[in-house]
């Protein structure tokens, strides 16, 4: 019986060791998990704060405004008759410049919607000799309207029509084309006649003023 009691006591004395040991390890594990959870929560909190911080905006450079006083190139006065030629704008300006430079004035009357004017323009612009003389030896003016000077329509009013004015301000009515009914008109095939007439107009009149 003594041995039974000892056995019982031995079994009873071992039981608390086992029972107490298990909760101690669990307590340590729980404490470790709590510390780990606290650390993870802290990291998550810091990360959320960084995410919620609004990004700084980069200032955009101000847009440049067009200056109202900015100069713009004027539209070409050539109207297709030769972009390399220094064209004047008005007949009055032409008279002033022909006196000042002692170069003859060449006045081309034409219309944008006239097929004969357009055909002459193309031939005129493509002729290198005519372009060279027009650029170097003449004051050049092309008009899509009539002037108040009746001397610029010696036979009648029509287009196309080319009239020369001497620096003495004399209209060269003697320089004509080959057509009797329209003496001052030219066709694309008449560029040799126009070239010869320009050379004639270059020979200035000698008039005592």
What's domain 91-202's architecture?
A: 3-Layer(aba) Sandwich (3.40)
**What is the mean pLDDT, run by run of 10 residues, along the chain of 209 residues?**
41 40 57 68 55 43 44 68 96 97 98 97 98 98 95 96 98 97 98 98 77
User: What local confidence, expressed as pLDDT, does residue 20 receive?
Assistant: 40
CA distance 111 to 204: 29
SS (H, E, C) 147-204: CCCHHHCCCCCCCCEEEEECCCCCECCCCCCCCCCCCCCCCHHHHHHHHHHHHHHHCC
User: What local confidence, expressed as pLDDT, does residue 115 receive?
Assistant: 98
User: What local confidence, expressed as pLDDT, does residue 200 receive?
Assistant: 98
User: What local confidence, expressed as pLDDT, does residue 2 receive?
Assistant: 42
pTM for the full model?
A: 0.64
User: What local confidence, expressed as pLDDT, does residue 76 receive?
Assistant: 81
User: What local confidence, expressed as pLDDT, does residue 68 receive?
Assistant: 45
User: What local confidence, expressed as pLDDT, does residue 11 receive?
Assistant: 42
């Amino acid at each position: 019986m003594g041995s039974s009691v000892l056995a019982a006591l031995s079994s009873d004395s071992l039981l608390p060791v086992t029972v107490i040991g298990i909760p101690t390890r669990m307590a340590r594990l729980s404490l470790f998990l709590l510390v780990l959870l606290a650390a993870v929560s802290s990291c998550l909190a810091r990360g959320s704060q960084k995410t919620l911080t609004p990004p700084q905006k980069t200032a955009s450079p101000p847009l440049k405004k067009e200056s109202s006083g900015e100069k713009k190139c004027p539209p070409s006065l050539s109207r297709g008759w030769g972009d390399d030629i220094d064209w004047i704008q008005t007949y009055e300006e032409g008279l002033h410049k022909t006196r000042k430079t002692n170069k003859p004035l060449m006045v081309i009357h034409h219309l944008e919607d006239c097929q004969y004017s357009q055909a002459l323009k193309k031939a005129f612009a493509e002729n290198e000799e005519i372009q060279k003389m027009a650029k170097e030896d003449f004051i050049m003016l092309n008009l899509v309207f009539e002037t108040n000077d009746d001397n610029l329509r010696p036979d009648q009013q029509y287009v196309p029509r080319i009239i020369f004015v001497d620096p003495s301000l004399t209209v060269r009515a003697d320089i004509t084309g080959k057509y009797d009914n329209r003496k001052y008109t030219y066709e694309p095939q008449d560029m040799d006649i126009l070239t010869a007439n320009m050379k004639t107009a270059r020979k200035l009149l000698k008039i005592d003023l």
